[in-house]
Amino acid sequence: MSTKKYSAISSCGISSMQGVPVEVEVTILPGLPGFEITGLGDSAIREARNRVRAAIVNSGYRFPEGKILASYAPAWIQKRGTGFDLPLALGILEASGQIARPKNLKTLLIVGELALNGEVLGIPGVLNRMITARQKGQFRECLGPAVNAGEAELLSRIKYYGVPDLRTAIAVYSGVRIKLEKPQKNHSNDIITTSRLDNFTGQKQAKRALIIAAAGYHTLLMLGSPGCGKTSLAGCLPGLLPELSEEESLVVTMIQSALAQGEIIDNLTTIRPFFAPHHSVTKAALIGGGSPLHPGLCTRAHLGVLFLDELTEFPKAVLDLLREPLESGRIRIARAREFANWPAEFLMVAAANPCRCGYALEPNDKCRCTPDQIRLHLRKISGPLWDRLNLCVTMQSLSGNDLLNSASARSDNEQELAVKQIQICREIQRQRSRDLGFKKNYLNSNMPISNYKKDFQIEEGALDLLSRFAAAKTVTARSFHNMLRGARTIADLEESYSVRPEHIAEIMQYRLDVSSLV
């Protein structure tokens, strides 16, 4: 066995969802017994001393005497989490001469948490760490928890050794050829939807707006009385949206892996995220923040849907934080010692009552609110946020006939027709991105173009109609461009080459004049 008193093990941490390469160095110095860990570690890393000591002893190995000094380099980067337990234990055993890594073997990237009995426990962000290792080009093999094997095998370029305990990890590290059992995959990506368009009678305009929003990723606000179907219609979105592409699946799975809280990820996510937070959500929970910086629901809903039910009940300060991600698709948070730049390209769908009692849109004078009360209620949505709502649709209570029809089963295929229509529209938008020379597949709502008339094939009559509407309604430049983008999506749904006046006329219906409600 080697008599050296020093060992260096390659590992990787997580910071702001990105992998951070870390070198775990261990040396054993003469002197009184002690165990110190340096390198800006958090409390979980400081507590690793007890976990690692117990795991080594309970695995049948000797915990060395003397002063043990461990350093997580680079020392100036904050380290967090329990993923350094396994490399620390192997480093201690190698520095004490109890194990050795043959020189002819490749360098291993090692991550994992240790239980007191020596079991290797799963950790979040294994996929993110391995992607960082692949990008650096330094590692071709990784040693980690067996429970994370399914997630790690999503990257075929790096061989992953999933080990159940410290003794097995020592055998792999020492070059012993052993057969590692793979855990069974118990998770699936089957879409389970509780709402379908077929289940609803009436509300044709709201259904149409929902399809337009899903096809082009246009923000949508449904304003209507209680019980008219706003929340139920929003629940149809997971079944309407197409599955994630392979590239999108990898991004969403990385986010889920980095933010996992005990969940086991063993395959790529193909369904789009859908989050519907309660209106008591905090700023940090929605946008991200805290110490250390942690992504919020906007990042978790990346490439999916963020549904805000009872929009007017959300705190004003929380709602206004959505303005930047809706515009740029990113969330940038700066702190004295940290900076985060997270993806946040989500489809925002919101639902709200038009007034406090909820019946301002009903034709039977059921509303008990005064005009000032209605203004005060809607004032919770700031002007800049109103300007970013591409589609606004008003809904009324269902008629007696519609309620009667909703109680009976329906066999039409409205849902399937909408899904097919949306898929065709998405393919038209992908082809437009390629024709315009973009490397990324953009949708109409976020396609970076400046010449709308040329790139979106807008007819002169359609532009003239919209310009007259904008002059009469005092439409902002952002709203004007968003209406052009919405009209282009309507044209794509009809598989029309150009945007005609009738497409502009339809998108004008979804431009809500708040003054008409009071």
- Confidence label for 344 from pLDDT (cuts 50, 70 and 90): very high
Which band of pLDDT confidence, cut at 50, 70 and 90, is reported for residue 410? Answer: low
Question: How many residues are there in the chain?
Answer: 518
Q: Distance between CA 220 and CA 381 in Å, rounded?
A: 14
Report the pLDDT value the prediction gives residue 1, as an integer from 0 to 100.
42
Domains and CATH numbers, the chain: 6-173 (3.30.230.10), 188-412 (3.40.50.300), 415-513 (1.10.8)
In this prediction, residue 2 carries a pLDDT of 45
With bands split at pLDDT 50, 70 and 90, how would you rate the model's confidence at 203? confident
End-to-end CA gap in the chain: 85
pLDDT per residue as tens digits for the range 455-480: 999 999 999 999 999 998 888 999 99
Question: At residue 21, what are phi and psi to the nearest 5 degrees?
Answer: -60, 135
- Each residue's pLDDT tens digit, 101-136: 998 888 899 999 999 999 999 999 899 998 888 887
Q: How confident is the model at residue 197 (pLDDT cuts 50, 70, 90)?
A: confident
Q: What is the per-residue pLDDT across 359-405, written as a single tens digit (0 to 9) for each?
A: 988 888 788 899 899 999 999 999 999 999 999 999 988 766 766 66
Please say whether the beta carbons of 240 and 210 come within 8 A. Answer: yes
* C-alpha to C-alpha distance for 154 and 136, rounded to whole angstroms: 18
HSE of 400, CA atoms in CB hemisphere, 13 A = 0
Q: What is the pLDDT of residues 246-304, one digit of tens each?
A: 889 989 998 988 887 667 777 788 899 999 999 999 999 999 988 788 899 999 999 99
pLDDT at 190: 47
Q: Is the pLDDT of residue 162 over 70?
A: yes
Q: Are 121 and 97 in contact (CB under 8 A)?
A: no
Higher pLDDT, 339 or 173: 173
Q: What is the mean pLDDT of the chain?
A: 89
- Does residue 191 surpass a pLDDT of 90? no
